[in-house]
């Protein structure tokens, strides 16, 4: 242990020395750069490269798209094939694993492939909140919940960067739709911003991604790429981010304002146009050169941090990486339904491959899979598995397989295609239908128009289900779909967009080689009108108003008591898990304490399996409106048949807080909280109540529009108000009044005092007739606010 500590200290001192040497080198370079060279470093050279300066030995960095695979193209024509690279499952599927170790493995493997191609920075992961299931790019994002998004993104970032490759956490911020994404203003209240749309970034930033990508859109009227509050105040100031801020490709509105706000790098290049504007701004005094120097410093630090890998290439082990993609896909798929067969003990799935039976496979996706999304993340796979081939090549199988297309590539069907499907289905013991969303239904650049799958897919499923028993539906889609046939089929597997190995991974799950353990990180609604953003999606007049506030995803469905098709956190297994013995180390605690929540999970079924244990917190009675419950922890555990394990989860003080717009601060209130442990947001197995005592005092900053009642919250203000009350009460003389007159006087006194407490201070000045001046009020406010700032 002693030797390990000495080694760790040696590494730390060595790293510290290299950082100081780099800082010294960067400072020397800045002093040698001309103004024009400084400006050029703040704008990309071309589509995927930064500007180099050969005379000073400053190299160019190469970056490219890579949320789920390395995509290398010249320019931005996504229709041209990229270099061959492993196409891993998209974020919508990977997130369903709830497995941070799996995300770390994905990151490492992507880092290795980036090194193979000499890529210094991958443009991912994407963690925007899934505000609506209609978002065209939802397949690239993790969840509707910021906690699970941030935790999984942090694991991905650590994996990639362990290989010396940079990452770009995106899209900062509130980039939740594709319609008018370059112009739309997301109008969001600060509480929703803090609790939902920025929280995932705050969590992921703790992993210190090498860059954060600023989004196209505006937030409350200000472009993200020139939003000083977002970049400097929140990201760098509050979150403590130390890396580079880069624009999304073509997101720049005003480059000079961007530099002032803290945006370091514009991508792609523009032929020098904006670099010249930066030069002119410095020369005219519009931009302080010291501000520009800090931007240049951030760019140079990134360049020298990542340039060591510029010429480093590693062997691309295509087969190994393909198998990793297969494992990730199979461990992430979500079993949504699995009905017990009539008169039998077993459910329909898994399929017994040793049994002599006929299996009908229907649906074009079974042999021509939809395995990834469209747009900037499009990967050219090293190979592509399909389910039909995987099923037919199953070793030692006793079943036979027949196939019918069922629909065409556009999702259309006809009587002939349906007749062929029904015919082979009637002759088979089990029918597997592949359905979902074609490429043209969801993509970067446009949003979905409906929650429905193509009518041809739904019609096919309906006809096959009416004609046959034992029907399994396998879905290939990037986001939730409606299921009008859900009660007519026996089993449903959500495979999402499962990458190049998805066909084999689906076979692994259906045949029981892998026990499904994925759980949804987004709610599947019954219908689109049930969704939180339904009334304001996608906005109008280039504004989209987030009227639902903090009630996104399961927070909304819980609060409105709406039954979803499938809830957040839901997913079945081939085995069963029993939850028991919840224990919390403190029943009474304060706002600086950490709680440890423990429970026991036992595999009581017939298969080895994995379970995602989810921890939620409920504020029993709050001073402000809060969600019914919020996810604050999770852990995925592996249990052999009959095995039991102790699961331990931590709750930090921040897990009990909400963002108070009154106090402009994160705040917790004294009171009772319910700690909930379950298998999904709607399947809570254990609970225990605890009591929180808030010790921190919160005071708002007061101004001329604050009310007299507001001042009562601060000791100095309370003293002032006490004096006013005494003066007011001294004017009431009850002597000689009848009972009726006394009652009238008391009523008048109460009304006057209530009105006074709700009166803005500026009204006091007017109504006092000049006896209380504005200077007196401002003097009081300055005194109180001075005490507030000192206490903070």
Q: Which of 224, 226, 299 is nearest to 63 (CA)?
A: 299
506: three-class secondary structure by DSSP: helix
Spatial distance between the Cα atoms of 131 and 559, rounded to a whole number of angstroms: 16
Residue 237: phi and psi, rounded to 5, are -75, -65
CA 307 to chain centre: 30
DSSP E strands: which ranges in 652-698? 658-660, 665-667, 671-680, 683-693
Cα separation, 358 vs 468, whole angstroms: 13
> Residue 130 in 3-state DSSP?
coil
Give backbone dihedrals phi and psi of 251, rounded to 5 degrees, phi first: -85, -5
Instruction: Give the tokens for residue 573.
Output: 């297994």
Instruction: Please name the residue ranges forming H helices in 186-283.
Output: 190-192, 199-205, 228, 255-261, 273-283
> From the CB of residue 284, how many other CB atoms can be counted at a distance below 10 Å?
8
Compute the distance between CA of residue 299 and CA of residue 52 in angstroms, rounded to an integer: 11
Q: What are phi and psi of 415, to 5 degrees?
A: -60, -40
Q: Which residues pair with 651 in a beta bridge?
A: 595
Work out the angle at residue 109's Cα, subtended by the Cα atoms of residues 108 and 112, and round it to the nearest 5 degrees. Answer: 90
563, pLDDT greater than 50: yes
Identify the pLDDT of residue 8: 39
Structure tokens at 383: 């190979």
Is pLDDT above 50 for 11?
no
- Nearest-angstrom CA–CA distance, 711 and 717: 4
Closest CA to 497 of 107, 108, 174, 89: 89
Is residue 776 over pLDDT 90? no
Describe the chain by its helix, strand, coil percentages, rounded to 5. Answer: 35, 20, 45
Neighbouring residues of 54: CB distance < 8 A, sequence distance ≥ 6: none
Residue 170: closest CA among 65, 31, 59, 48: 65
Q: What is the pLDDT of residue 18?
A: 53
The pairing of beta strand 121-123 with beta strand 63-65? parallel
Query: Using one digit for the tens of pLDDT, what is the confidence trace for 42-83?
Result: 999 989 999 999 999 999 999 999 899 999 987 666 667 789
Give CA–CA dist 154/201, Å, rounded. Answer: 9
- Output the pLDDT for position 422: 98
In angstroms, rounded to a whole number, what is the distance separating the alpha carbons of residues 559 and 184? 29
Query: Taking 70 as the threshold, does the pLDDT of residue 792 lie above it?
Result: no
Q: Please state, in angstroms and rounded to a whole number, the distance separating the CA atoms of residues 774 and 483.
A: 64
Q: Is 558 a catalytic residue?
A: no
The two tokens of residue 72 are: 């290398």
Contact (CB, 8 A) for 145 and 557: no
pLDDT number for residue 75: 65
For residues 619 and 668, give the distance between their C-alpha atoms in angstroms, rounded to a whole number.
10
- Give the per-residue SS3 of 71-124: ECCCCCCCCCCCCEECCCCCHHHHHHHCCHHHHHHHHHHHHHHHHHCCCCEEEC
Identify which has the larger pLDDT, 752 or 702: 702
Element (H, E) at 40: helix 35-41
One-character DSSP codes across 754-790: HHHHT-BHHHHHHHTTTSS-HHHHHHHHHHHHHHHHH
Catalytic residue among 65, 99, 248, 669: 248
pLDDT value at residue 158: 98
Question: Is 139 in a helix, a strand, or coil?
Answer: helix
More confident position, 709 or 8: 709
Closest to 303 in 3D by CA, of 208, 169, 166:
166
Indicate if the alpha-carbon torsion angle 287, 291, 293, 295 is positive or negative. Answer: negative
Question: Residue 456 and residue 416: Cα distance in Å, rounded?
Answer: 12
SS3 string, 600-626, reads EEEECCCCCEEEEEEEEEEECCCCCCC
Looking at per-residue confidence, does 75 or 509 come out higher?
A: 509
- Cα(426)–Cα(185) distance, integer angstroms: 54
pLDDT at 94 over 80: yes
- Sign of the dihedral defined by the CA atoms of residues 687, 689, 693, 699, in that order: positive
Distance CA 362, CA 418 (A): 10
State how far the alpha carbon of 95 is from the alpha carbons of 333, 471, 533, 650, in Å.
10, 27, 22, 21
The total of other beta-carbon atoms located within 10 Å of residue 655's CB is 19
Q: Which residues contact 260 (CB under 8 A, 6 or more apart)?
A: 226, 228, 287, 291
pLDDT tens per residue, range 240-288:
999 999 999 999 999 999 999 999 999 999 999 999 999 999 999 999 9
Task: Label residue 12 by pLDDT band (50, 70, 90).
Answer: very low
Look at residue 671 and tell me whether its pLDDT is greater than 90. yes
| Residue 669 to residue 656: CA distance in whole angstroms | 8
Mean pLDDT of 692-713: 85
Across all residues in the chain, what is the average pLDDT? 92
User: How far is it, in rounded angstroms, from Cα 256 to Cα 521?
Assistant: 39
Query: Of 209-218, 375-384, 516-525, 673-682, which range is least confident?
Result: 375-384
Tens of pLDDT, residues 476-508: 999 999 999 999 999 999 999 999 999 999 999
* Banded model confidence at residue 608, pLDDT cuts 50, 70, 90: very high
Name the CA radius of gyration of the chain, rounded: 30
User: Is residue 225 over pLDDT 60?
Assistant: yes
Say if residue 691's pLDDT is above 80: yes
Do β-strands 683-693 and 671-680 pair in parallel, antiparallel, or remain unpaired?
antiparallel
pLDDT (0 to 100) of residue 6: 45
pLDDT per residue as tens digits for the range 398-442: 999 999 999 999 999 999 999 999 999 999 999 999 999 999 999
End-to-end CA distance of the chain: 42
Q: How confident is the model at residue 152 (pLDDT cuts 50, 70, 90)?
A: very high
Examine residue 227 and say whether the peptide bond preceding it is cis (omega within 30 degrees of 0). Answer: no
- Give the distance between the most distant pair of CA atoms in the chain: 106
Are residues 157 and 110 in contact, defined by beta-carbon separation less than 8 angstroms? no
pTM, two decimals, is: 0.91
Mean pLDDT along residues 577-591: 97
Calculate mean pLDDT across residues 352-361: 96
Q: Strand pairing partners for 368?
A: none
Residue 67: which region, alpha, beta or left (left: phi > 0; alpha: psi -120 to 50)?
alpha
């Amino acid at each position: 242990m002693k030797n390990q500590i000495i080694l760790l200290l040696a590494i730390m001192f060595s790293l510290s020395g290299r950082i100081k040497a780099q800082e010294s080198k960067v400072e020397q370079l800045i002093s040698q750069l001309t103004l024009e060279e400084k400006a050029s470093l703040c704008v990309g050279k071309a589509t995927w490269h930064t500007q180099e300066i050969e005379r000073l030995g400053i190299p160019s960095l190469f970056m490219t798209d890579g949320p789920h695979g390395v995509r290398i193209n010249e320019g931005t024509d996504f229709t041209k094939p990229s270099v061959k690279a492993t196409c891993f499952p998209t974020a919508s599927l990977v997130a369903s694993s709830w497995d941070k170790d799996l995300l770390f493995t994905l990151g490492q493997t992507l880092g290795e492939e980036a090194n193979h191609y000499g890529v210094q920075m991958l443009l991912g992961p994407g963690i925007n909140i899934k505000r609506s299931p209609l978002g065209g790019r939802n397949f690239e994002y993790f969840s509707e919940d910021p906690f699970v998004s941030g935790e999984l993104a942090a694991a991905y970032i650590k994996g990639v960067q362990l290989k010396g490759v940079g990452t770009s956490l995106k899209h900062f911020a509130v980039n939740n739709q594709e319609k008018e994404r370059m112009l739309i203003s997301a109008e969001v209240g600060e509480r929703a911003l803090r609790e939902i749309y920025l929280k995932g970034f705050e969590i992921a930033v703790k992993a210190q991604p090498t860059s954060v990508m600023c989004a196209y859109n505006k937030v409350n009227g200000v472009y993200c790429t020139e939003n000083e509050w977002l970049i400097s105040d929140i990201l760098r100031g509050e979150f403590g981010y130390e890396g580079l801020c880069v624009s999304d490709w073509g997101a720049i509105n005003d480059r000079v304002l961007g530099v002032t706000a803290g945006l370091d790098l514009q991508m792609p290049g523009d032929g020098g146009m904006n670099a010249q504007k930066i030069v002119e701004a410095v020369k005219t005094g519009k931009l302080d050169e010291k501000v520009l120097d800090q931007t240049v410093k951030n760019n140079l630090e990134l360049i020298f941090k990542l340039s060591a890998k510029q010429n480093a290439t590693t062997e691309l082990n295509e087969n190994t990486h393909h198998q990793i993609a297969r494992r990730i896909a199979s461990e992430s798929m979500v079993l949504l339904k699995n009905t017990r067969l009539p008169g039998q003990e077993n459910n329909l799935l898994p399929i017994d491959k040793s049994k002599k039976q006929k299996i009908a496979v229907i649906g074009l996706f079974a042999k021509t899979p939809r395995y990834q999304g469209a747009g900037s993340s499009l990967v050219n796979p090293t190979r592509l598995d399909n389910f039909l081939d995987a099923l037919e090549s199953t070793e030692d199988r006793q079943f036979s397989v027949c196939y019918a297309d069922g629909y065409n590539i556009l999702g259309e069907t006809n009587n002939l295609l349906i007749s062929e499907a029904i015919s082979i289905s009637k002759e088979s013991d089990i029918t597997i239908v592949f359905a979902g969303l074609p490429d043209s239904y969801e993509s970067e650049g446009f949003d979905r128009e409906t929650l429905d799958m193509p009518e041809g897919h739904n019609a096919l499923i309906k006809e096959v289900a009416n004609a046959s028993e034992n029907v399994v539906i396998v879905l290939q889609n990037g986001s939730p779909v409606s299921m009008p046939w859900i009660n007519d089929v026996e089993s449903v597997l959500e495979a999402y967009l499962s990458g190049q190995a998805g066909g084999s991974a689906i076979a692994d799950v259906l045949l029981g080689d892998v026990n499904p353990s994925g759980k949804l990180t987004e709610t599947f609604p019954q219908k689109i009108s049930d969704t939180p953003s339904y009334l304001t999606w996608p906005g109008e007049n280039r504004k989209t108003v987030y009227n639902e506030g903090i009630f996104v995803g399961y927070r909304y469905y819980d609060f409105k008591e709406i039954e979803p098709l499938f809830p957040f956190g839901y997913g079945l297994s081939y085995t069963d898990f029993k939850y028991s013995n919840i224990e919390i180390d403190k029943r009474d605690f304060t706002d600086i304490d950490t709680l440890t929540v423990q429970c026991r999970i036992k595999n009581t079924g017939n298969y080895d399996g994995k379970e995602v244990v989810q921890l939620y917190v409920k504020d029993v009675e709050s001073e402000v409106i809060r969600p019914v419950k919020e996810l604050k922890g999770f852990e995925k555990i592996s249990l052999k048949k009959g095995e039991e394990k102790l699961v331990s989860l931590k709750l930090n003080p921040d897990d009990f807080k909400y963002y108070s717009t009154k106090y402009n601060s994160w705040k917790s209130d004294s009171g009772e909280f319910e700690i909930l442990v379950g298998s999904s947001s709607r399947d809570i197995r254990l609970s225990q109540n605890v009591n929180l005592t808030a010790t921190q005092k919160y005071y708002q900053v007061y101004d001329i529009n604050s009310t007299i009642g507001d001042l009562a919250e601060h000791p100095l203000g309370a003293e002032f108000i006490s004096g006013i009350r005494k003066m007011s009460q001294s004017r009431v003389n009850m002597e000689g009044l009848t009972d009726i007159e006394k009652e009238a006087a008391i009523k008048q006194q109460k009304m006057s005092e209530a009105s006074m407490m709700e009166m803005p201070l500026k009204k006091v000045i007017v109504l006092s007739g000049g006896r209380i001046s504005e200077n007196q009020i401002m003097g009081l406010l300055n005194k109180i606010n001075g005490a507030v700032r000192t206490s903070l």
